[in-house]
Structure 1
Amino acid sequence: MEYNGINLTWLGHDSFKIRNGKTIYIDPYQLSSDAEKADIIFITHEHFDHCSVEDLKLISTPETIIIAPPDCQNKMSKIDCKDIMTVEPGQTFRIGEIEVTTVPAYNTNKKFHPKENNWLGYVINIGGTRIYHAGDTDKIPEMNELKDIDIALLPVSGTYVMTASEAAEAANVINPKLAIPMHYNSIVGSEADAQKFKELCDCEVKILEEG
């Protein structure tokens, strides 16, 4: 998908690739063996389907920068990369011309992603286009503080994260220009969850084909 000169590809589950001159991955998981090498990788939390060492080794080079919560650091210690930045919710920083703000991601009505773990979503600002990857989360109060989001990538499967209806409520709070469902058709969730999300959202929704 092309948006404001940025190419966004859903790689399945919570995994995305963003290309804008740099190649950026978020939560790379079960990538093809010929996957493009990464300039920057964002990891939301340490679960195997988000912080996948096998996939990180596949796409990392000595010039790759990885951004992740502190509890991912041990898993990534043998990855050949330029730097591993450990971050917590509420930080804003720059990587070259890209501005990044970390956002909390946690469960409110289940135990899989505790708030105290300080796991993450990210707002990635690329040339003025603001992309929010929510991570594995429920609808949380911090979403009310998100402003001027162009693209919101939101989990919809239920079980470990928001249900489709809860994700639609979140989208209506965030009010992005475009919402894209994720976290389905892999470990849990189905195309029906993505379709339900689309039907319930007030904003524009695009369901991406896995690329």
Structure 2
Amino acid sequence: MKKLFYGILIAVNCIFLIPATTFSEKKEVKVMVKNIHYLGHDTFKITGEKVIFTDPFKIKKKDSADIILITHEHYDHCSPEDVKKIQGPNTVIVTTGDCAKKISGNIKIVRPGDKINVSGIEIEAVPAYNTNKQFHTKDKGWVGYIFTANGQRIYIAGDTDYIPEMKTFKNIDIALLPVSGTYVMTAEEAVQAAITINPRIAIPMHYGSIVGDINDAKRFREGLKGKIEVVILNEE
């Protein structure tokens, strides 16, 4: 009788403990991504101590950026008209040399491996290139970025495939990864990239505009189920 009582007690405790843990984890994820706003394609607005935009494209309304990170010179990433919509007199633009020729302002040119500090934000340019297609070749010197904002190390991959250098990206809190295939990783390849990088949270991007759709993002999430937390921003 006593064994039965303790067995029931343990079972009841387990039932009540599981939802508490799940709630805590969901709350932490919500806090981590609350300042990250997905505007489509590879465009994110990250708010906090500084307002950071990545690859502004099809910006719908005027805004003000402290820092703009541009990964390469393709029109859907380096868009002068969209840059102007968010550029102020003190905006710093971090980008590659070929993109810098298309825009004006306070520009910091980077290549893979460069590390700079912009207004207190540590930014590292990392390689981004294709391994099985020719849209973004390694010799172009195009980049992704690892930067620290709101106390979190954020990696935005740019237009890339799953590349060996990802094994060297350490202590990433949030990884923003392309999932649409054609020009970048497929959802399945992005799953492998995420497992290699091992961020606390992965957020899919590069879909719904030029190529890909929400189903790519969902396949990415399904592939990482039970391994890495995936947040699809703006999911209806």
Give TM-score, length-normalised by structure 2: 0.84
Indicate the residue corresponding to 2:196 in structure 1: 173
Does the 8 Å CA contact 2:57/2:77 hold for their aligned counterparts? yes
Indicate the residue corresponding to 1:44 in structure 2: 71
- Give CA deviations for 1:52-109 in whole Å, capped at 9, x if unaligned: 01100111111110000001111113xxx3x100000001111122111111000000
Distance in 1 of aligned mates of 2:170 and 2:76: 29
Distance 1:128 1:107, change over 3 A: same
**Which secondary structure does the structure 1 equivalent of 2:98 belong to?**
helix
**Which secondary structure does the structure 2 equivalent of 1:55 belong to?**
helix
Distance 1:186 1:90, change over 3 A: same
Distance 1:68 1:129, change over 3 A: same
Could you say which structure has the higher strand fraction?
A: 1
Matches within 5 A, 1:3-14: 3-4=31-32, 7-14=35-42
Indicate the residue corresponding to 1:76 in structure 2: 103
Give the letter aligned to residue 232 of structure 2: I
Select which of 137, 141, 148 maps to 1:125.
Answer: 148
Matches within 5 A, 1:143-154: 143-154=166-177
Indicate the residue corresponding to 1:56 in structure 2: 83
Indicate the residue corresponding to 2:115 in structure 1: 92
| C-alpha displacement of 1:40 | 0.6
- The answer to whether the aligner puts 1:102 opposite 2:125 as a matched pair is yes
Give the letter aligned to residue 220 of structure 2: F
**Which secondary structure does the structure 2 equivalent of 1:139 belong to?**
coil
Distance 1:127 1:19, change over 3 A: closer
Indicate the residue corresponding to 2:234 in structure 1: 209
Distance in 1 of aligned mates of 2:168 and 2:37: 26
Indicate the residue corresponding to 1:18 in structure 2: 46
| C-alpha displacement of 1:127 | 4.7
After the TM superposition, which of the residue ranges 138-147 and 55-64 deviates more from structure 2? 55-64
Distance in 1 of aligned mates of 2:178 and 2:159: 7
Structure 1 consecutive aligned stretches of length 4 or more whose deviation exceeds 3 Å: 1-6
Task: Tell me: higher relative CO, structure 1 or 2? Use CA pairs within 8 A at least 6 residues apart.
Answer: 1
Could you say which structure has the higher helix fraction?
A: 2
Select which of 56, 59, 67 maps to 1:31.
Answer: 59
Select which of 184, 194, 204 maps to 1:161.
Answer: 184
Unaligned runs of 5+ in 2: 1-28
- The alignment of Structure 1 onto Structure 2 pairs a total of residues equal to 205
- The answer to whether the aligner puts 1:200 opposite 2:223 as a matched pair is yes
Select which of 63, 78, 92 maps to 1:65.
Answer: 92
Give the letter aligned to residue 71 of structure 2: T
* RMSD, matched Cα: 1.5
Structure whose CA Rg is larger: 2
Does the 8 Å CA contact 1:97/1:126 hold for their aligned counterparts? no
Does the 8 Å CA contact 1:5/1:20 hold for their aligned counterparts? no
| C-alpha displacement of 1:4 | 4.4
